[in-house]
């Protein structure tokens, strides 16, 4: 019934699940962006003993990323069919993409530590509250000798 649907939509558990899915969407975007930046579009090295192994690794990464994107598209479709909503999100508005800056943040962002997994800017210590106010998904923490996005560290642990 509509009353039951409304009750479920307002439950803390469902809202927590949807926030978790939003974190997964962001992690997929980060890893996809890193792959675009660091994996060549064309042919890899032609010579050398490691060339074939590198090409196999790149093909495996590209295949895994394509599967992850297809899974995400299916999940989004399922969410829409259930008439649920994940918070709207634009990649360009993220801290990592430089989209949540004001007068004092650009200099800090330019010198921000890089996440050890995705190699995108992580929120510097001391700026958490200022950045989180504009981009709640940009949460970083020191871990294992470096600065990590919390979602990337959780992914690495799994």
Query: Tens digits of per-residue pLDDT, 5-64?
Result: 788 888 899 888 888 898 889 999 998 888 888 777 665 555 666 777 878 888 888 899
Can you tell me whether residue 141 is helix, strand or coil?
strand
More confident residue, 93 or 122: 122
- Detail the DSSP E strand segments found in 1-158: 140-143, 146-149
pLDDT of residue 74: 95
pTM of the model: 0.75
Distances (CA, A) of 114 to 16, 34, 119, 121, 135: 28, 12, 5, 5, 17
Question: What percentage of residues in the chain have a pLDDT greater than 90?
Answer: 22
Token reading at 93: 């508005």
pLDDT of residue 18: 87
CA distance 97 to 32: 13
CA distance 61 to 70: 14
CA distance 91 to 33: 10
CB 144 within 8 A of CB 133: no
Beta bridge partners of 146: 143
Residue labelled with tokens 């997964």: 24
pLDDT of residue 102: 57
pLDDT of residue 103: 54
- Mean pLDDT over the full length of the chain: 82
More confident residue, 103 or 51: 51
List the helix and strand counts (H, then E) for the chain.
6, 2
**pLDDT value at 104 more than 90:** no
CA distance 127 to 138: 11
């Amino acid at each position: 019934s509509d009353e039951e649907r409304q009750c479920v939509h307002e439950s803390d558990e469902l809202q927590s699940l949807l926030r978790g899915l939003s974190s997964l969407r962001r992690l997929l975007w980060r890893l996809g962006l890193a792959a675009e930046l660091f994996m060549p579009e064309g042919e890899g090295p032609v010579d050398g003993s490691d060339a074939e192994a590198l090409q196999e690794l790149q093909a495996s990464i590209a295949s895994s990323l394509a599967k992850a994107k297809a899974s995400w598209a299916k999940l989004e479709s399922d969410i829409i069919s259930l008439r649920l909503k994940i918070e709207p999100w634009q990649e360009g508005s993220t801290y990592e993409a430089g989209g949540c800056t004001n007068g004092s943040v650009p200099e800090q962002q330019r010198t921000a530590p890089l996440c050890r997994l995705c190699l995108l800017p992580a929120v510097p210590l001391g700026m958490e509250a200022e950045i989180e106010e504009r981009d709640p998904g940009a949460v970083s923490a020191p871990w294992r000798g470096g600065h990590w996005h919390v979602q990337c560290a959780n992914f690495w642990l799994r």
